[in-house]
Structure formats: C-alpha cells, structure tokens
Structure 1
Amino acid sequence: MQMEFYCDLYVSECWQKKKARIIRKLRANRVQPQVYVVALSQGSQNQLEFFSGILLRQHVFAHADLFVVGIADGYDEALAMVRDITEEVYTVTGMTDLRKYILERQEQYVKAGQ
C-alpha cells in the first residue's frame, strides 16, 4: 500500500508526540488496532473516509494508494476529526469541498518546498 500524508496532517491530541512512530508503523503495515486513518475518498461520491488500522492490513488495501489527511485515536475521534476538518474548510472557504481545499493546500506546500 502506498501512503501519502497531508502536509497539515490532523492528529489526535493524545498522539501528537507519537506521530512519527505511528506514521512509520502505518508505512510498514504494522498492526495498530486503535489507529484510524482519515483519508481522501477513493471514489467520487464521498470526500473523506476512514479506516481502522486493522482493516488496512486486509488484502484489498495491498495495492491501494491512500492520501492520509488524519490519524485518529479510535472510531469516535475519527468522526470528530472529520467534523473538525469540515468545519475548518467551511470557515476558510465558505464551502464544504474538502477534497479541493486539501489538495490545493498540498499543492501549495509541494510548490513551496521546491
């Protein structure tokens, strides 16, 4: 599985200090039952979706490309994170096109780094 991480990655407050370790384990496809990954949706109908760390180990994700927007501590935190992302995007843009906002910010970050 290929994972790209958002430049302004959302991370549950309790995991701020463990962020790098969690990312390393995600990239190595190690089991992290409490970790939920919030990612841009693979389909066009939805904007964000989230998966448990256990689900990501299934074979259907073996060749998936995920653009990870957030790392949450459990299901409830993942729901709250999606809500917080939506509120932030709406506050900044007046719209709820999460995908467009996130991808534009990522593109700006990449261009600034070059």
Structure 2
Amino acid sequence: MQIKFYCDLYVSECWQSKKAKIMKKLKENRLQPAVYVVALSQGSQNHLEFFSSMLLKQHIFDNASLFVVGIADGYDEALFCVREITSQVYSETKETDIRGYLLKKQEEYERTGR
C-alpha cells in the first residue's frame, strides 16, 4: 500500500503531539484501532471518505494508493474533520470542489517546498 500525506494534515486535537508516530504506524500498516483515516475518495464521484485504519489491513488495500488528508480519534472526530475541511474549502473558495482544492494546495507545496 502506498500512503501519501497531505501537506497540511488535519489531525484530531488530542493527537497533535502523536502525529508523527501515528503517521509512521499507518505507513507500516500497523494496527491502530482508534485511528480513523480521512482520505481523498478512490472514486471520482465523491471527494472524501473516512474509515477505520483497521480496514487498511484488508487485502484490497495491498496495491492501493491512498492520499490521507486527516487522521482522527474515532468516528465522531472523523465526522468533525470532514466538516472542518468542507468549511475551510468553502470559506476560502466559495465553491465545493474539495478534491481540487486539496490537490492544488498539495501541488503548490511540492512545487515551492512550503
């Protein structure tokens, strides 16, 4: 599984100090039952999807590429994270193209290095 993290990763407040450790464990595909992943949807009809990181242990993710934009402490925090992302995108662009906004910011970050 290939995991890429968003340059301005959204993280539950309680996990700010553990962000690097959680990211490392996700890349190593280690079990983290409380961790929910918010990622760009694999299908083009949706913008975001979120699920328990335990699903990443399933074989359907073996060859998958995942662009993680947020990590959350459980289901409720994942909902809050999606709401936060949506609100930020709309307030900055007055549009609802979440996927486009996140990919554009990531591209700018990779191009400029900040």
Q: TM-score of the superposition, structure 1-length normalised? A: 0.98
| Structure 1 position 49 matched with structure 2 position 49 | yes
Deviation at 1:22, TM superposition (A): 0.2
> What residue number does 1:73 align with?
73
Cα distance in 1 for residues equivalent to 2:65 and 2:33: 20
Cα distance in 2 for residues equivalent to 1:51 and 1:64: 15
Deviation at 1:6, TM superposition (A): 0.3
Deviation at 1:53, TM superposition (A): 1.3
Deviation at 1:17, TM superposition (A): 0.2
Unaligned runs of 5+ in 1: none
Deviation at 1:51, TM superposition (A): 1.6
Using the aligned pairs only, state the percent identity: 68
- What does residue range 1-16 of structure 1 map to in structure 2 within 5 Å? 1-16=1-16
Unaligned runs of 5+ in 2: none
Q: TM-score of the superposition, structure 2-length normalised? A: 0.98
Cα distance in 2 for residues equivalent to 1:46 and 1:26: 23
**Letter matched to residue 54 of structure 2:** I
Deviation at 1:113, TM superposition (A): 1.7
Task: Tell me how large the CA RMSD over aligned residues is.
Answer: 1.0
Moved over 2 A (4+): none
> What residue number does 2:33 align with?
33
